[in-house]
Amino acid sequence: MNSLPRIRLEKRMDTPRWLSVATPILSVLAALLVIAIIFGLLGVNPLVAYGRIFTGAFGSAYGLSETVTKAIPLMLAGVGLVVAFRARVYNIGAEGQLLVGAICATGVALFVPGIPDGLRLPAMFVAGALGGALWALIPAVLKARLRIDEVLTSLMTVYIASELVNYLVYGPWKGPGEWGFPYTDKFPLAAQIPRIGITRIHYPTLILALLAAVLAYWLVQRTRWGFEIRVTGENPEAARYAGMNYLQTAMLVMALSGALAGMAGVGEVAGIHYRLRYPQGISPGYGFTAIIVAWLARLNPLGVILTSLLIGGLLVGGDAIQLAMGLPSATVYLFNGMILLFVLGGDLFTRYRIRMEFPGRAAAAPVRLEREEVG
């Protein structure tokens, strides 16, 4: 017989409130501890690195303003992903939807004449949201029509969008005034989102992001449609019996999350760069990082406000250690992956009690469990 102790999961009837707050925090701390060990193995002093990350992100007015700046796209895209993930629709393509939003905004900013100055920015946001939504509908329609899993197709659309940006900035949209750089021309003043003082915080986008979080919370928790999203995600069978249309819900949440990611892209080109540039120049993976933001918030739209600021800080701190300690930009992915893994594992403690079973000893009374996938 197998003599190794067996880990057994026992479903909790209800989760104590303190536990649902404590686990994400402890998960992040555990992840940071493991990353520190990896840093040590690679010859990077983890204490110095973490000190720089913290002071870089939160230690100065400049750092704080950059943290907020980077939280804006994460918040917008993250809120959309929360809604999609709640319905268990895995939109992994927010990065591509963000880029398409940036393309559409650039198109309106540079190539559509005759829009009054005051309407230029609103038109760009509308175009970006529509572009992002349509781009997200590619995997959604494939899922609805052909039952193709959306994880892969949404990811493929990221690569395609990224090459589309490259094509435009190296080709037809390359600005004559940019000395051969792969940039479009600079946006006119009416197409630039105002910022707070000398910071890069483009506050209208921030307000949109905060509004999106509040509206999404209301939508998911308080409306009939939100109820359908939750039921569909938690128990697709029950949703089907209740006559809810799963595929329609999937299409709608895809479009919604795509629209929000698209708006994040508008914010980046119109609030930060004032031009379309090569894809990594617009977004260092905000759409992927937003997945962690959503998961860390335990799929609560209001929680995204907090987690996007936290992860935004990590990005700023990551930039700081790259510059100061000569680490590659991929370091951020180490943080992303490890935190996601630990948050995922940590979720377990809120849903299950962990029991160790030792074969040979009398086992606890068998408890019948319902089938449930841990989210």
Partner 1 sequence: MSIWAYIFSVLQAAIPAGTPLVYGTLGEVTAERSGVVNLGVEGMMIMGAVTAFGVAQATGNAFLAIAAAALVGGLFALIHAFASITLRVNQVVSGLALTMLGQGISGMVGKRFIGMPPRVQLKPVPIPGLSDLPVLGPLLFQHDLLVYIGLLMVPVLWFLFYRTRWGINLRSVGESPATADAMGVNVFQVRYLAVFFGGLMAGVGGAYLSIVYAPAWIEGMTAGIGWIVIALTIFAMWDPVRGLLGAYLFGSVRVLQYRLQGLGISPPLLNMLPFILTILVLMFSAGEAMRKRLGAPAALMQPYTREER
Please name the amino acid found at residue 40: G
Is there a contact between 374 and 34 (Cβ–Cβ < 8 Å)?
no
From the CB of 291, what's the least distance to partner 1, in Å? 7
From the CB of 22, what's the least distance to partner 1, in Å? 18
From the CB of 356, what's the least distance to partner 1, in Å? 12
Interface residues toward partner 1, by CB under 8 A: 2, 7-9, 38, 42, 44, 90, 92, 138, 142, 146-149, 151-153, 155-157, 159-160, 163-164, 166-167, 170-171, 288, 291, 295, 326-338, 340-341, 344-345, 347-348, 366-369, 371, 373-375
- Measured from the CB atom, the residue of 29 and 207 that comes closer to partner 1 is 29
From the CB of 76, what's the least distance to partner 1, in Å? 20
Is there a contact between 244 and 196 (Cβ–Cβ < 8 Å)?
no
Q: Which helix (H) or strand (E) holds 294?
A: helix 286-296
- Measured from the CB atom, the residue of 17 and 145 that comes closer to partner 1 is 145
- Measured from the CB atom, the residue of 58 and 352 that comes closer to partner 1 is 352
- Taking CA atoms, 199 is separated from 77, 162, 272, 320, in Å, by 22, 28, 10, 17
- Measured from the CB atom, the residue of 8 and 195 that comes closer to partner 1 is 8
286 CB-contact burial (10 Å; exposed 0-12 / middle 13-18 / buried 19+): buried
Which runs of E-coded beta strand occur in 217-291?
none
From the CB of 61, what's the least distance to partner 1, in Å? 29
- Measured from the CB atom, the residue of 160 and 219 that comes closer to partner 1 is 160
Instruction: State how far the Cα of 82 lies from the Cα of 90, in Å rounded to an integer.
Output: 10
- Measured from the CB atom, the residue of 92 and 100 that comes closer to partner 1 is 92
Q: What are phi and psi of 354, to 5 degrees?
A: -95, 125
Please name the amino acid found at residue 201: I
Instruction: State how far the Cα of 230 lies from the Cα of 359, in Å rounded to an integer.
Output: 39
Please name the amino acid found at residue 7: I
From the CB of 120, what's the least distance to partner 1, in Å? 28
Instruction: State how far the Cα of 101 lies from the Cα of 146, in Å rounded to an integer.
Output: 26
